[in-house]
Amino acid sequence: MREDWRFRLREQRACWTAAALFVLIFALYIAKHQTGWTVPVLTTAANKGVLLAIVAMAQTLPVLTSGIDLSVGMVFVLANCLASHLVVGTPLQAAAGVLVVLAAGALCGWINGAIIVYGRLQPIITTLATGAVYFGLALGLRPVPGGDVHAGLADALTGALPGGIPAMLVVLLAVVLLVWVPFRRSAVGRAALAIGSAEAAAYMSGVNIGRTRLVTYTLAGLLASIGGLLLTFVTYSGEASAAIGGVYTLNSIAAVVIGGTSLAGGAGSAIGSVFGALVLRTIGDLLFVFDLEPLWQPLFQGVILLAAVSLGALRLLKVDNRLDLFK
């Protein structure tokens, strides 16, 4: 029994490291912040962090199967633009709008998956191209930034619950419990990890590789559209910006890596990615409270990102056989 507990701890070590790092940085942030631990500060931090956290979760799923989804940022933007048109009017209309946005996101993901599975193309180039398509659609929906969103719903989700808990964190928890946990515990989730560690072996063991990939990419699209929907609630508008899409895609990959998921697939969890995303976001805010000259912020952020991903090089010190360096 005790061995079992140890094994689990070791398996999720990267995830715990990311969580500890987040707690550390966030404590520093709160300590340095002028007003400190107050509800508005927490709510703002949560609103910004959860957006990236959900997109990072979306990125995690394809990465587990040793694929990648470079279109998550664009699906995120597309969902944002779609929501700024649809999630308006009476509560009933807004609810229908939310469903349509989520369905559209899932459809985008499904298209990615279908091209990868049935078209037998590489995920990286497929999602690069479909990303351009989704961005074009977003641009068609919102040639100029604007639009509106159901104010009641937006205020409820971006505010704080009684007791001072940011509502966004509850949304994040709900997404984890409703999407990630069932996925991870299902046969499909195990199959996704199996594909990531050894695709040929998974195929030989009778894993339905096509269906697993399809589910994985569809869920990634769904999660990205949840992120885009939440962005609409935060900004009260829709904007088709290639820069936003690009930044979210790239940061989602960085968050996945910081969260301990291997880019080669087969190991990791979306929980780690959530903490990875929160770490990335808090580092950005940290520069703000330390009164660093704004000019140096992009450089500082880049160096931190580079240092974080280079930390993995420490494992090289433990390699006995030099051949193990090369996969």
Binding piece for another protein, criterion CB under 8 A, among 46-54, 129-137, 174-182, 185-193: 129-137
115 in contact with another protein (CB under 8 A):
yes
Place of tokens 């599975």: 117
Binding piece for another protein, criterion CB under 8 A, among 21-29, 83-91, 183-191, 309-317: 309-317
68 in contact with another protein (CB under 8 A):
yes
Residues 6+ apart with CB under 8 A from 141: 78, 81, 82, 85, 238, 240
AA identity, residue 76: F
Closest C-alpha to 217, from 131, 108, 97? 108
Q: How far is CA 69 from the centre of its chain?
A: 11
Binding piece for another protein, criterion CB under 8 A, among 47-55, 121-129, 183-191, 231-239: 121-129
Q: Which of 65, 130, 225, 232 binds another protein (CB under 8 A)?
A: 130
140 in contact with another protein (CB under 8 A):
yes
5 in contact with another protein (CB under 8 A):
no
Binding piece for another protein, criterion CB under 8 A, among 95-103, 122-130, 163-171, 217-225: 122-130
Binding piece for another protein, criterion CB under 8 A, among 24-32, 95-103, 152-160, 312-320: 312-320
CB-based contact 48:309 (threshold 8 Å): no
Specify the residue, 24 or 299, whose C-beta has the smaller distance to another protein: 299
298 in contact with another protein (CB under 8 A):
yes
Binding mask 142-181 for another protein (x = CB under 8 A): -x--------------------------------------
201 in contact with another protein (CB under 8 A):
no
100 in contact with another protein (CB under 8 A):
no
Binding piece for another protein, criterion CB under 8 A, among 13-21, 114-122, 150-158, 275-283: 114-122
317 in contact with another protein (CB under 8 A):
no
Three-class HEC string of the chain: CHHHHHHHHHHCHHHHHHHHHHHHHHHHHHHHCCCCCCHHHHHHHHHHHHHHHHHHHHHHHHHHCCCCCCCHHHHHHHHHHHHHHHCCCCHHHHHHHHHHHHHHHHHHHHHHHHHHHHCCCCHHHHHHHHHHHHHHHHHHHCCCCECCCCHHHHHHHHCECCCCCEHHHHHHHHHHHHHHHHHHHCHHHHHHHHHHHCHHHHHHCCCCHHHHHHHHHHHHHHHHHHHHHHHHHHHCCECCCHHHHHHHHHHHHHHHHHCCCCCCCCCCCHHHHHHHHHHHHHHHHHHHHCCCCHHHHHHHHHHHHHHHHHHHHHHHHHCCCHHHHCC
Under rule CB under 8 A, which residues in 234-263 are in contact with another protein? 250, 253-254, 257, 263
Number of residues in the chain: 327
Specify the residue, 189 or 245, whose C-beta has the smaller distance to another protein: 245
310 in contact with another protein (CB under 8 A):
yes
| Nearest distance, CB of residue 52 and another protein, angstroms | 15
313 in contact with another protein (CB under 8 A):
yes
| Nearest distance, CB of residue 134 and another protein, angstroms | 8
Binding site for another protein (CB under 8 A): 68, 115, 119-122, 124-126, 128-133, 135-137, 139-140, 143, 200, 203, 209, 250, 253-254, 257, 263-264, 294-303, 305-306, 309-310, 312-313, 316, 323, 325-327
